[in-house]
Structure 1
Amino acid sequence: MSLINPLNNQPLGGQSQMSTQSVAPSKQATSATVQAAATQQTSTTGNPFLDAIRLPEEKSIPEASSQGLSQDDFFSLLSQQLSMQDPFKPVDNDQMIAQMAAFSTVDGISKLNDEIINLNAVMTSSQALQASGLVGQKVLIPSDTGYLSEEGSVLKGVVSTPEAIETIVVRIEDDKGQLITTFNIDGSQGGNVDVSWDGLDNNGEPMPSGIYSIKASGRIDGQSEDLVVSTYAHVTSVSLGTASTGSILNLRGIGGIKLGDVLAVSEV
């Protein structure tokens, strides 16, 4: 048996159900209305001026994919700076132009560095290609040490004199510093004087292939002084090298030398 409401002859259980169904939508509508009002209150203030300078809720600056700032990052920072400036003391146009010019300069320098790196790589390859033409020839190096080979049993060099010297004493030493032979050459012409050793010791016996040194001395102003000696070396191959070292000439029995350190080139 159900209870009847004497006012409208409706069961009390039905009234309770109807009341619940009608209240629930009312609460949902009220919640939606409050949320919409809160959203509208957060996004706008009703004042056009304040709304125009209002900071955005989300970050507009994108995260940089690298450690350096890009042009997009710069304009994002500039936009943030303009949005945060005092409306009564705006940023001077000269300052904005100076900032943009500074960023453009930095960006240009970065691009220029990349171009220089590419140019160095091209120049290194071109230099190695040109240096390959020296393979099989002899070059004059700033060292008094040369290599006596079986193919060419003659060691040549150049003695540099500050003035004309009547007699230049030449000494040949092995890699241990032991004296092999001595002989004299004419230095009366001065300047660069060619010197050549036939590979024989004092007894006329041929010396084995290996590293030998050419030492020279002469009397200058009545005193004996050591003279600068350069030797010729045979180029066997060329290494590419790097942008800082350039091409490397590989010399027979001696090692490598930079192409820029070569003093002269001689035919075989």
Structure 2
Amino acid sequence: MSIINPYSQSVPQAAGTTSNTSAVTSASVQKETVVTGNSYLDGLRLQEEVVPENNNDQMLKQEDFFALLSQQLSMQDPFKPVDNDQMIAQMASFSTVDGIANLNEEIINLNTVMSSSQALQASGLVGRKVLVPSDTGHLSAESPEVKGVITTPSAVDTITVRVEDESGQTVATFEVDGSAGGNIDVSWDGLDKNGEPVPEGQYSLKATGNVDGTSEELPVSTYAHVTSVSLGTASTGAILNLRGIGGIKLSDVLAVSES
């Protein structure tokens, strides 16, 4: 008793046909099975296709290069041997490229070590105050004053300092003696124009003075409290995390003060 697949597209051969016409190759059987249209029968077929392996490591390494070079020398035409100068040039070029790759790896490792070393040294700044090139300082219970430095190109009789809150509103105004010129220390006690304490937050110190008879804005730098140090990257170096301000690169610090 035989079972005939009703979904098969093959046509039964007559009894009188020769063996050549009745012979069915494995390839034709596989082809007919693929087009049956029955998902169950299609799922039972044998997969004879070979899936090539995905080899991502196709880079020519040094040992591969010399293996190919040895094979080339062993199969060269004895009447037309490989030019020695050309062979030496190829070997030198490969050695140069390999050396550059190794050098790049060593530089990356060196940058990592230097970044870690810099962060370790910068950890000594935790708990201290640093002078940063920003006119914005943070006022809090831990830091009830905003201190900074005003830079003047020359002696200025009187410097007017205007304190602004985060919305740009002026909360206090006071004057500083700038007759000494150069870097002038400035400090705001955290009180508004009425002598009342202001809320915690960020406040900016804006300084103006008469320079050669002209009123000019003067650059102001402020002190900030270092709370922690981050490793950063090879390009940024160590990052100092400042209270209420955020992160700043160690290379941007202008001065270090006592806590």
TM range (shorter): 0.7 to 0.9
Match of 1:212 in 2: 203
| Structure 1 residues without counterparts, runs of 5 or longer | 1-63
Match 2:97 to one of 102, 106, 130: 106
Count of matched residue positions in the alignment of Structure 1 and Structure 2: 205
**Residue 267 (structure 1) aligned with residue 250 (structure 2):** no
Deviations 1:8-59 (A, max 9, x none): xxxxxxxxxxxxxxxxxxxxxxxxxxxxxxxxxxxxxxxxxxxxxxxxxxxx
Q: Secondary structure at the match of 1:241?
A: coil
User: What one-letter code is carried by the residue in structure 2 that aligns with 1:217?
Assistant: T
Match of 2:151 in 1: 160
| Shift in Å, 1:85 | 4.9
Match 2:63 to one of 59, 72, 78: 72
1:181 and 1:174 map into 2 onto residues whose CA distance is 9
Kindly report which structure 2 residues correspond to 1:183-194, keeping only aligned pairs within 5 A, or say none. 183-194=174-185
| Shift in Å, 1:78 | 2.1
User: What one-letter code is carried by the residue in structure 2 that aligns with 1:168?
Assistant: I
User: What one-letter code is carried by the residue in structure 1 that aligns with 2:86?
Assistant: Q
| Shift in Å, 1:262 | 1.0
Match of 2:134 in 1: 143
2:169 and 2:71 map into 1 onto residues whose CA distance is 79
User: What one-letter code is carried by the residue in structure 1 that aligns with 2:122?
Assistant: A
2:201 and 2:232 map into 1 onto residues whose CA distance is 27
Match 1:181 to one of 165, 172, 183: 172
**Residue 125 (structure 1) aligned with residue 125 (structure 2):** no
Match 2:187 to one of 193, 196, 201: 196
1:231 and 1:129 map into 2 onto residues whose CA distance is 25
| Shift in Å, 1:252 | 0.7
Kindly report which structure 2 residues correspond to 1:203-242, keeping only aligned pairs within 5 A, or say none. 203-242=194-233
User: What one-letter code is carried by the residue in structure 2 that aligns with 1:105?
Assistant: T
Judging by fraction of residues, say which structure has more helix: 1
The ranges of structure 1 where at least 4 consecutive aligned residues each deviate by more than 6 angstroms after the TM superposition are none
| Shift in Å, 1:86 | 5.1
Moved more, 91-100 or 208-217: 91-100
| Structure 2 residues without counterparts, runs of 5 or longer | 1-54
TM-score, length-normalised on structure 2?
0.74
User: Could you say if the C-alpha distance between residues 165 and 84 of structure 1 is closer, same or farther in structure 2, counting changes exceeding 3 Å?
Assistant: farther
| Shift in Å, 1:228 | 0.9
Q: CA RMSD in A?
A: 1.8
2:79 and 2:172 map into 1 onto residues whose CA distance is 94
Match of 1:134 in 2: 125
Moved more, 158-167 or 132-141: 158-167
User: What one-letter code is carried by the residue in structure 2 that aligns with 1:235?
Assistant: V
Kindly report which structure 2 residues correspond to 1:41-80, keeping only aligned pairs within 5 A, or say none. 66-80=57-71
| Shift in Å, 1:122 | 1.4
2:212 and 2:137 map into 1 onto residues whose CA distance is 30
- Of all paired residues, the percent bearing the same amino acid is 75
